[in-house]
Amino acid sequence: DDDDDDDEIGEMMRMFIGTIEMYREQATLLDPLLEALITPLAVDVLEREARRGGERERRCLYSSRRLGRACVILDALSSVRGWKTCIRFYPNAARDLEPAVKLLAWTSTEASAVGWETRRVVLSWISMLALTPFDLVSIDSATSVTVASEHDAVPLVVRELVTECKRCLGDSGATRDAAAATLAKLLTRPDMSEALISFFDWAGRALKGLISNDRQELSFLIPGVLRALAGIYKSGARDVLLAHAERTWRDASETFQSEYAKSSTLVRQLSVKLATRVGLVFMKPRVVSWRYNRGSRCLQDNLISAENKPNSDGAAANSQTSTSIASGLASQGDSDFVDEAVDDIVEMFLVGLRDTDTVVRWSAAKGLGRIASRLPRDFGDEVVGAVLECLSITESDSTWHGACLALAELARRGLLLPSRLAETIPLVVEALTYDVRRGPHSVGSHVRDAACYVCWAFARAYAPDVFAPYVNEIAPTLLMVACFDREVNCRRAASAAFQESVGRLGQFPHGIDIVTVADYFSLGAKVHASLTVAPYICRFDEYRVPMLEHILDAKLTHWERSSRSLATQTVGVLGDLDPHWILDIGLPTVLDRACHSDLPTRHGAILAIGEMILVANRANLTPCLEARKKVADVIPNIQRHKLFRGKGSELMRGATCRLIECIAKSARLMPVDHSTREILLSSAEESLRCSNVDIQIAAANAITAYAHAYYNENDDVADIGVSRVLAVHSKIITKEPLGVIRRGSALLLGALPERMLFAPVEGGTPAWSIALNALISATIPELDAEMRDAETRVNATMSLTELAITLLNLQSTRDGEKAVLISIATRVIDALLDCMLDYSVDNRGDVGSWVREAAMGSLPLVVAAMQKFISGTPLDDVRTTRMFSSILKQCAEKIDRTRIQAMRVLVLFVRGGEVNKLGALRVANVGVMPLAALDNCVAFQTLCSIVPESLERVPDASRPMVIFDAIAAPLLKESAYAFDILNGWFVSAGGIADGLAHFSSNALVSAMSDSPNVANVVIYSLVRVMTENKHNDRLTLPTLRVCDFLISRGCLPQSHEIALALVESIRSECYSSREISKLTVGASCLAHFIRAQAEDVHKSSATGLLALMVNRYPRVRREAAEQMYMGLIALDEPSGDDERASELLSSNSWDVPPSATKNIRIELYKLLQLDLPVFVLKDIKASASIQHHVNVLDEHSTYASLVENAGY
């Protein structure tokens, strides 16, 4: 019972803590409830347990658990809301200090059996009790009156508390931090001078490793000691701590350089933190007069001064600022003494800025800012100079990051004087674009983020007139980072810095307009930032050229491929705003990089060349002759330098294909000679054979653009090129054994220009006929399984659609060729419908689904083109019905993606719409192709009543019940569609996906229960699927599962007239099958018909089950016996033979070899009144012959027979 209660309480605590964790984002919402939540636990449990005192040794386990649970809840509340807030509701009576210390000592014993949460809560409680205003000697009950009057005495309670805290400083968890905070508050009391000296001595030995020889123990103890010392120097009085500061600084310095610091980030961070606190003790608290003071920081004044620059208020503000600076410089107070240790402390901070860990650099930067805020002007300026020296090209990225953090801290405190901005701003601008290549990646995102923080600090630190000379340097760079940086945090940080600068300084050009567009959300997506936000910003002359130069110099040479590709797209978009800059500066620059030794550099250059050519073409500007020659020589030079081989060859092929496409599209402004054309074409055709899909697409686009540009000319050279291209790629599609090579050619033939399609080849045959035949043959799976390639069929399907639309568009302008148009359209539609029967499977799964989806997406396009270009000739009823049947079948298939595609196509055929939106077509001059509803299909009105009204209302994959219940089920009453729908439905209902199988099977049962006619259709369809797809496991196995499910749900009566045909089909499917799952499901189905009253059905099912009992697989034999047993015992009035058969089935093991159960099976045949099958009779006869031979041998096999034969 106690264990059950513990489990119940533990579950309640987990629920409570989980609820509290929900408030972590808005913890202040807990404030009204804190007193009611904390006070009962702190007073009734924590304080009561502390005051039990002498009963602690006799404390029961229940009390320990009660304390532990209370402390776990208190710790959860404090971690969410904060310890400083929650501890105010703890008991704070002075009399609780000594019991609390004893409770802390008890929690450290093994007998306590409490967790670390208890010690942490008790320590936090003691840290508040230690602030009691009474002398602790008067609180300690163990101190005598004589000792209490002595000034140097340390009370026993303090000694015990310090001892326990020292022990906790060696913990590895949150208890260590609580102990450090407790010691800091205790030892900084005025009456704890002796305890403080003793602790300093102990801490020095601990930091030197003299306390323990265990290195692991010291690795936890040293951070605790450092944190306690840092807390003491933060809370203690300066006049008390100054005497110990020199010794503590030496300990911190030695620890920072020790072996423990090299292996521990926390030790280095706490050493720097302790050095900061000690350094502040060395100097008097003050605000130096030389620091820069901005003065008024009203945003409204800044905006008004930006709009009315010459007004008197602005001049007054400027004069006031100048006066404050001058007065500050006049009264510097530099004569104050600075301890020599401060110099060493600053040196430690400069070393900390170079640390490899961010937390150490951040701590060093904050320490440097705090120390510099108390230094004389000359010394402070030297600190600023040392930080600026860290921003050197020879320094590491960690140093740059630490220096940026330090600059921000110095600027926020006014320690970076305006006179230093002239040399600081260029370094900050360089940090904003800091990106250093390191092998296959780069470093610098943290530096850029910190540089944005520096700009943010500058905006808050300086007056607008002081910062005005540097606006033209900072503003464009911030926008470059905001639009083009690879990291989203850097883009958003730059946007925040720019927004702060616009609001505080008010002098950034077009700042308000830009801030409204370049906000936190619009810069979240890199593509949107580059292609939408950046073009808006580049409308302003102040930012256009710097951003173009940044893309040219930084982004086109970026190490990441996607960044370079996005940069080239950005060049195309931004170049339209300044095409002259593109031709005069951009194009010559990237042409010089085309054969650069660095792969990213030349890859980005080649991509940019193509985009810049298109920019010039759109602007109707012609590059100079030298530039045109260099562009034409780019690919020959790449081939000459053999850059298509080795590392990066695929990148170069994709880039050159894009360049060829751009040259072809700009043929009017970029004419090339015949030899160069051949080089371009051969390069693109070679890339078309590459295995990379992206390169194949780029090569196909390049050849398509090439053909449109150069094969539309009426000359002999063009005719030869047309013949060669068509002949080569048509042959590749039909003859090439490698599917990887066939893919590219299949992708190419669909986008050929008019000149090529109607060019006579091979004895006058039109080229389009050859391409059409080749593509149709490519959509058919090859007989040789080794040659099959799903990607080739997908590409051929899409190209076939594009070719058909092109032909229909062009042929419609010719007179007297309507029959040809109809023939083309019907052949293509028939081929697409055949593609929807592609269920090929390889090691990747159902790759045929790719072909089916491509065919479904293509059908509306072809039908719409047919309606548009062949007026008055709708699609015939037979093909329309077949098309709807095929689509409805896919609507019930098991793949979510396929179902959604089929539903979208069905909506288009029923509702109509613009089909061009389904995908990009490489067909020119087609225009909008509206698809009219196919109202000549069967049951069109029914389809209209159940199909969604638009594509936007098509249910997604998470709602399969809608498709099966609302769409598929009503169509089961239509004989034209029922079988095809059920064909796909069986696959879904009998699949292995639990969710889909559950929804679809229940929907099928519901449809059958609503209409008897539907039930008959389902039953006949089961038999038909089993008969027409014999030994096709893709269909028969899920159909068997559906059959088993329907019979078990009572939807398939055993007396049905077609039950015998169903049983025979099940037996036929199980015959000679080696699929164990199919055999076990078949046994389950046959067992249902054991109860059938029809004798022929009963005998057929029993014979099938007995045949499965001799299967080669033990699992199948066992399953068949179990299913027969369950079928027999479920009979309403079993006979004696049935009961005897059930007894035989249950009392024998069927995992043994079939020969061991032969006699049992023969008896089962007799009990079930079944004729022995032929194979059993043959087995009996063979066994009898063997037994007779054995008996003959046995007569002469003994020693006695030998003696008898010998005559003895």
Q: What is the phi/psi pair of residue 913, to 5°?
A: 150, -175
Residues 18-43 have pLDDT tens digits of: 999 999 888 999 999 999 999 988 88
Summary mean pLDDT of the chain: 85
Contact (Cβ atoms closer than 8 angstroms) between residue 871 and residue 813:
no
Contact (Cβ atoms closer than 8 angstroms) between residue 81 and residue 34:
yes
Length of the chain (residues): 1208
Round to whole Å and give the CA distance between 1098 and 1103: 9
Residues 92-139 have pLDDT tens digits of: 888 888 888 888 888 877 656 678 888 899 999 999 988 888 888 877
pLDDT for position 334: 46
pLDDT tier at 907, thresholds 50, 70, 90: very high
The torsion defined by the Cα of 601, 603, 605 and 610, in degrees rounded to 10, comes to: -170
Residue whose entry in the numeric block shows the structure tokens 């308000």: 512
Q: Which two tokens stand for residue 542?
A: 């102040």
Question: Distances from the Cα of 559 to the Cαs of 99, 442, 482, 545, 1120, in angstroms?
Answer: 65, 7, 19, 23, 64
Residues 548-560 have pLDDT tens digits of: 999 999 999 999 9
CB count in 10 Å sphere of residue 176: 24
Whether the per-residue pLDDT at 1004 is higher than 50: the answer is: yes
Question: Distances from the Cα of 551 to the Cαs of 268, 535, 597, in angstroms?
Answer: 40, 13, 20
Round to whole Å and give the CA distance between 995 and 976: 29
Round to whole Å and give the CA distance between 351 and 171: 29
Round to whole Å and give the CA distance between 731 and 748: 13
Q: Which amino acid is at 345?
A: I
Say which DSSP state 54 is in. G
Chain centroid to CA 1026:
43
Instruction: Give the HSE-up count for residue 647: Cα atoms under 13 Å, Cβ half-sphere.
Output: 5
Whether the per-residue pLDDT at 1183 is higher than 80: the answer is: no
Which of 483-497, 1013-1027, 1081-1095 is predicted most confidently? 483-497
pLDDT for position 838: 92
Round to whole Å and give the CA distance between 960 and 1031: 29
Q: Which two tokens stand for residue 34?
A: 């804190």
Round to whole Å and give the CA distance between 1075 and 1013: 34
SS3 call for 443: strand
Q: Which residue has the higher pLDDT, 819 or 342?
A: 342
Say which DSSP state 646 is in. S
pLDDT for position 984: 93
pLDDT for position 315: 38
Round to whole Å and give the CA distance between 228 and 219: 15
> Once rounded to an integer, what is the mean pLDDT over residues 54-63?
51
Measured CA angle at 1190 (ends 1188, 1191), to 5 deg: 65
Residue whose entry in the numeric block shows the structure tokens 């780019």: 634
Cβ-proximal residues to 329 (8 Å cutoff; 6+ apart), any chain: 290, 377
Residue whose entry in the numeric block shows the structure tokens 């020959």: 636
Query: pTM above 0.75?
Result: yes
* Exposed / middle / buried, residue 406 (Cβ in 10 Å: 0-12, 13-18, 19+): buried
Whether the per-residue pLDDT at 285 is higher than 70: the answer is: yes
Whether the per-residue pLDDT at 1150 is higher than 80: the answer is: yes
SS3 call for 765: strand
Q: 9-13, 182-186, 328-332, 760-764 — which is least confidently predicted?
A: 328-332
Buried b (16+ CB within 10 A) or exposed e, 627-666: bbebbbbbbeebbeeebbeeebbebbbbbbbbbbbbbbbb
Q: 201-215, 611-625, 811-825 — which is least confidently predicted?
A: 811-825
pLDDT tier at 247, thresholds 50, 70, 90: very high
Q: 120-124, 564-568, 1150-1154 — which is least confidently predicted?
A: 1150-1154
Pairing of strands 441-443, 930-931: unpaired
Could you tell me what percent of the chain has a pLDDT over 70?
87
pLDDT for position 401: 96
The residues facing 760 across adjacent strands are: 766
Nearest to 977 by CA among 852, 890, 848, 864: 890
* Exposed / middle / buried, residue 240 (Cβ in 10 Å: 0-12, 13-18, 19+): middle
Buried b (16+ CB within 10 A) or exposed e, 845-863: ebbbbbbbbbbbbbbbbbb
* Strand ranges (E), 1107-1195: none
> Once rounded to an integer, what is the mean pLDDT over residues 817-837?
88
Q: What is the phi/psi pair of residue 417, to 5°?
A: -70, 155
Which of 601-615, 679-693, 1166-1180 is predicted most confidently? 601-615
Q: Which helix (H) or strand (E) holds 826?
A: helix 818-835
Round to whole Å and give the CA distance between 1015 and 1034: 23
Round to whole Å and give the CA distance between 473 and 900: 53
Contact (Cβ atoms closer than 8 angstroms) between residue 302 and residue 375:
no
Cβ-proximal residues to 1181 (8 Å cutoff; 6+ apart), any chain: none
Pairing of strands 760-761, 436-438: unpaired
Cβ-proximal residues to 1176 (8 Å cutoff; 6+ apart), any chain: 1161, 1162, 1165
Buried b (16+ CB within 10 A) or exposed e, 14-31: eeebeebeeeeeeeeebe
Whether the per-residue pLDDT at 58 is higher than 90: the answer is: no
Nearest to 1004 by CA among 1023, 1019, 992: 1019
Q: What is the phi/psi pair of residue 1055, to 5°?
A: -90, 10
Q: Which two tokens stand for residue 999?
A: 């929804």
- State the distance between the two ends of the chain, measured CA to CA, in whole angstroms: 86
Question: Distances from the Cα of 31 to the Cαs of 27, 36, 37, 98, in angstroms?
Answer: 8, 10, 10, 30
Output the DSSP codes for 1098-1153.
Answer: HHHHHHHHHHHTT-S-HHHHHHHHHHHHHHHHT-SS--HHHHHHHHHHHHS-SSS-
Whether the per-residue pLDDT at 928 is higher than 70: the answer is: no
Q: What is the phi/psi pair of residue 917, to 5°?
A: -75, -10
Q: Which residue has the higher pLDDT, 1205 or 972?
A: 972
pLDDT for position 304: 62
Round to whole Å and give the CA distance between 808 and 862: 9
Q: Which helix (H) or strand (E) holds 1061?
A: helix 1059-1070
Helices (H) and strands (E) in the chain, counts: 63, 6
Residues 295-339 have pLDDT tens digits of: 655 656 655 655 554 443 443 344 444 444 434 433 444 446 788
Round to whole Å and give the CA distance between 515 and 1126: 76
Whether the per-residue pLDDT at 1182 is higher than 70: the answer is: no
Residues 400-454 have pLDDT tens digits of: 999 999 999 999 999 999 999 999 999 999 999 999 988 878 899 999 999 999 9
Output the DSSP codes for 352-380.
Answer: HTT-SSHHHHHHHHHHHHHHHTTS-HHHH
Say which DSSP state 624 is in. P
Round to whole Å and give the CA distance between 1146 and 1144: 6
pLDDT for position 358: 93
Q: Which residue has the higher pLDDT, 831 or 1184?
A: 831
Q: Which spans in 292-390 are helix H?
A: 299-307, 312-330, 340-352, 358-372, 377-389
Chain centroid to CA 668:
45
Contact (Cβ atoms closer than 8 angstroms) between residue 934 and residue 863:
yes
Residue whose entry in the numeric block shows the structure tokens 């491929």: 561
Return contacts of 104-108, CB within 8 angstroms, 24+ apart. Answer: 104/161, 104/164, 105/160, 105/164, 106/56, 108/164, 108/167, 108/168
